[in-house]
Amino acid sequence: MTAMFYEIRTYRLKNGAIPAYLKVVEEEGIAIQRKHLGELVAYFFSEIGPINEIVHIWAYPSLDERERRRAALMEDPDWQAFLPKIRDLIEVADNKIMRSARFSPLGGCAS
């Protein structure tokens, strides 16, 4: 299996904003993202622990591919029209790139 890079995006939303956020992402946003970003690994919202949290994970075969795909998303007029619908719901955004260990069920890298 090819080693993958996993982008883990975590958003803390305004209090009580999870239903509105999920609704608009499900109805409009996720289709635009999938068109450009490709492999959605998971999309979560918090139930216990830190409240008002959204986490979504995308997989890329390389960092160059991630950069290319994210740039294409940002240039899409549909995405630009969609962003204001979620922007005011998000208080804090965190993003990290991870690689899985060799023994991970997702498949890992050699080093």
Question: For the chain, which ranges sit under pLDDT 50?
Answer: 1
Is the entire prediction scored with pTM above 0.85?
yes
For position 109, what pLDDT does the model report? 63
pLDDT, one tens digit per residue, over 71-82 is 999 999 999 999
For position 62, what pLDDT does the model report? 93
Domain 5-99 annotated CATH 3.30.70.100 = yes
For position 104, what pLDDT does the model report? 81
What are the residue boundaries of the structural domains of the chain, listed by start?
5-99
For position 1, what pLDDT does the model report? 45
Q: Which two tokens stand for residue 46?
A: 């918090």
Task: Please count the other Cβ atoms lying within 10 Å of the Cβ belonging to residue 20.
Answer: 14
